[in-house]
Structure 1
Amino acid sequence: MDTAVSAHQRKIELQSPEDLTYLLANVRRAAAEHINEAFPPVEGAQGEDELRTRIEELVNEVRGFPPSPSIHPSLYFPDPDTQNLHARGREEHVLTPAAPRAQQYITKTFTLASPNLSVNGMPLDDLSLLSPDYAGSSRDPLEPEVVYAPFDGRARTRVEELTREEEDLLRDIAALKKSVPGAAAGAWAEAARSGLRADEEALAAARDRGARAAEGVDGGGGVKIVDLERQEDVERGYARAVAGLARMKKDMPAVVARMERARGAGSYVVTEK
């Protein structure tokens, strides 16, 4: 009967072992708070309160004694005279837990409930999680309780969407890093070559016009050109311009190459920022 009923009962689902240790810590903290209420510190008492210390040990199972379902002294001391030991402040008494009533308070309860628990969809086989010595439950029960925000499915969906958007942007940036520097450098180089060709064509046209004019003067035909007042200065300036164009034509490929490298480096730095 119990097996049939338990087969149809849904287990208590926990997401991780930390959830179980969190519940255990809450129970132990509540037990410690009740102990503080039932056995407040006695002013002027010398040494530790053995009764309080012993009950704390029983509740937390520090020394292997099964804890009690209650912290009232009558569960440990059926004799009324023994119950008054704490009030009289005597320290020579010996605590003897009542076996029937001190059976596995916190750990026993969770141990019996373990078949009805599942951690991340798996049965709870590792009972060491219930031990106070477990690393996940070693926190002081008196520490402030940590409250976690409830799971928000919409926030989870939004995070996934933002993650996908970030990945798409990273892919676009990677593609631009590969294509943009080369395209920009190629466009600049083509513009430089076009300007150089235009300069060469203009220079060739000027030379042709000068040659035709010279032929017309020597042959006696055409228009007679009279020397200018500053003819020598003009010729020297023209010669310097022609020499400068020649040097520019010679150095232009190296300048274009340097500019292409600088353009690529600048584009890479800008995209990295």
Structure 2
Amino acid sequence: MQTPHHRKIELQSPADLTYLYANTVALARQKLDLHLPSSASNDPNTPDPMRERVRELIDEFITQTFTSALASISINGIDFVSSSGGTDSSLPFSATLTTPETVEYEPYDGALAARVTSLYAQLESLTTTVAQLRRDAPKRAAKAYADALAKALAEDNAEAEMLDREAKDVEMANGITKTEEEGSNSGNPVQDPPKRTFSSSKSEWKLQAPLGSDHEAERWRHGDMAETYSDTLRILLRLQGEVVVAGDDHHDSETADGSRALATTVGQAERAVRATEVVERM
């Protein structure tokens, strides 16, 4: 009686059932020869009635067992009894046991064999490529990231050096203005700072700055516009994070380490953004 709670015995072909039945019969013959050997009889040519009767009972039991199990066997998902097309379960079972297993061969296809060989060669090539990429890709990615990061840091350092040079130029201008003021107050002549001389100069290198009206030119000559220019640069440096106080050397030495707080923070943020872009592009 079939119940939905137990799975059927799944076989791939009727030859599997034949194989199981043949192995069961062979084991039964071995046990029969062990316990009732044919050499024990007085006449080897005359069959032993007891041995023959036991063999018939064993064969009948094995056949009955396999016949009863046919309802619980499925071949490729199809019930064995329904696939055989008969109501008597013994008939398809006996036909299955008596039908020899046939092996069918297809004609050799050269194009198909060449296709299989080509696919196997392609598979081996792709496997080799993947293995090579697993060894080399991390190293190349790390090198590219290191080069990009080094380039970004070099650009940041160049920008920081340029800001330092601009700050030194402003400090030098402030020192010159202060020296001129002290010299004018004391009446002593002020020595001009050493100037850099160029072996050759081109006309396009000379800066021709318009001074505006005569009044503005007079202010430039007396130093009023220079002070305004210095104040403007000082304000710009404060906005960049530089703390510049004219005439206060002690204050400048104390604030030298933390004078570029804003500029340093902006530089670090830009380096972080560039590093993130490099990682996203990989």
Q: Normalization by structure 2: what TM-score? A: 0.40
Higher fraction of helix: 2
Q: Normalization by structure 1: what TM-score? A: 0.41
Bigger relative contact order, structure 1 or 2 (CA pairs below 8 A, ≥6 apart): 1
